[in-house]
Structure 1
Amino acid sequence: MCFIGNLIGRNPGFITTQGEILSDLFEKDGFEVVSASSNLNPVIRLFDVLRTIVGNARKIDILIIDVFSGRAFMLAEFASLLGKVFRIPSVLVLRGGNLPEFTEEHRSRVCRVLARADSLVAPSTFLSAEMSPFGMTAEVIPNSIPIDGYSYRHRNVVSPSLIWMRSFHEIYNPHLALDAFALVKKEHREATLVMAGVDKGLEESVKTKADEMGLAESVRFPGFLDLSGKNEEFSKADIYLNTNRIDNMPVSVVEACAMGLPVVATNVGGLPYLLTHGETGLLVDSEDAEQMADAVLQLLSDPDLSERLSRNGRKLAERSSWKQVRKDWEHLFDRILDRKGLTESESSGKALVGDRR
């Protein structure tokens, strides 16, 4: 196998991507894996991807390519073309909640690239459904998380200890978390908020706003969290806020569920496909701080609701365990190799090569 994508999470301080997680998990399980690229320079990253495919074309049985919108789409565009040139079976994995809008704007270009795939995969029912009007049928295979690595604490009763964890970027709308928290704090003066993640241009403005609102003493900014950091911070919190304007299948929400935190999330993109309101989370309108605050207050006053969301959230997260997700991927690989006429003996000993820079 060869995994292609923006694998920049291999660099310290950058968020780990699903492409990295999948390639590492398959390699850990004994598969031969190649992946590219972790280079931070987008131009060099593109050339690294091309070099990796060309240099290992004879070894690769299946090419797995992450497809993002915007400038990152070019990576999938060139990688899929090389897959066709070298007649390598390919799986294109649809990523990002903005991909349907990007496809609408660049329909012929996107459809041309996706048509090169032997199979399309989407991590959510939402993205699969959104791409269907373009004539695309994508099999749903959830994102994987290391479920055993997350410390679960069942929340029978919750405190007003809130946590938000995404990049400080416009699409993740961190200001909404702060606005909702300010309303909660009017009812619970002991309330606290942790806002964790890498800065994508808004962190300083959020800090300034917290200070201007008189919340600086109640809001903490621990920065980027690795798995150990997530376990530490989430164990201290009781409610997770997700404020995105655009989303697909946010791994951070699944991580919060894995650790037993009731989730309050904006009702956008793939979130209503991922969460069932009142059963695995609470969904509120985007941009509505009052609704988000009311949902938090509801959790604080209704132990039965908090307990149900905590219990069911963990069950939801367990569907993303590697044990289950690996079965889905292996079934897909078997079908593709069968269609291409590759027997197990012919394909063994080939497959995946890895970028570890």
Structure 2
Amino acid sequence: MRSLVLLLAAVLAVSVLLAIGVGAAAVPPGQTLRYLWAALSGGAITPDEVTTYQIVWQVRTPRVILAVLVGAGLSAAGVAIQAMVRNALADPFVLGVSSGASAGAVLVGVTGALTALGIYAVSAGAFLGALLASALVYFVARQGGGLSPLRLVLTGVAAAFGFQAVMSVIVYFAPDGEATSTVLYWSMGGFGAATWGALPVIAAVTLTALVILRGLGRRLDVLAQGDESAAALGVDTVRLRRGLFVLTSLATGAMVAVSGAIGFVGLVMPHLVRLLVGAAHTRVLTIAPLAGAIFMVWADLVARTLVAPRELPIGVITALVGVPVFVTLLRRRGYLFGRA
């Protein structure tokens, strides 16, 4: 286990370095490291290197770091949500969070609301939309003070369709095509808008969620066995499921607010990791964030270089990889979803 963690951490570090250097203006790894060190230590660079330095530090580095955070966060959230609703097909967006965020972003973009927040207005609208969707799903799905897994999934699906209808109405009555492009971005995701200013909040939210979820690993093992078994072992399933719902909704909303809805990462990555380390959630929640971060870094690299100078939505890349992998898992005889 430790060797696998060290291997994945090394692969992630190399992937980050290569992703920062690759692009329209290619920068060798050694030079990339020198620029990064200069930025962190206040070192000097020559005048003719300023443009390349700005590309490396101001454009690519925050983008790659955001990809790492979102990939890790979506993978961990997928593990937790699959245990919470006991559904192997669940992912971080099954609760309608992504549709609510997309509707909030489009509404802010079209109406010009939250202009006091400047360049963060659309992201703030997306986060508020995600919170609204989460609150709606929670209060509708709540029954007898608890959250039924089946009601959560069904309510989330219904909320997703409802918010998609809201987006369609907004786009239909929008005075120009800006709403359509906004919907496309928030539906397929991307890291092109990454800035250093947006990273502290998403980093704090994602890392906090990762630490808490890993600490709940043993309880998730019990929860995945069913409410009756969990209650017999002394686990308060009502309180645990409520806490997981709030935590995963906040984390997913924060990630969608800065990157849009990126599918298949939170769905497929947990299953792939279970094949490697088994179904114990403590192990899965240790490996899945690293694997998801590596995958997202490379998916983003392909998205911005495959048809350069144009950029593909990253959701296209994750779907092209995720669909065949998911189908392969379905056809694998030796694998039972959620149990490895």
Task: Tell me, yes or no, whether TM beats 0.5.
Answer: no
The structure whose residues are more often helix, as a share, is: 2
Which category of TM-score, normalised to the shorter sequence, fits these structures?
A: under 0.3
The structure whose residues are more often strand, as a share, is: 1
Indicate the structure whose relative CO is greater, using CA pairs within 8 Å and at least 6 residues apart.
2
TM-score, with normalisation over the residues of structure 1? Answer: 0.27
TM-score, with normalisation over the residues of structure 2? Answer: 0.28
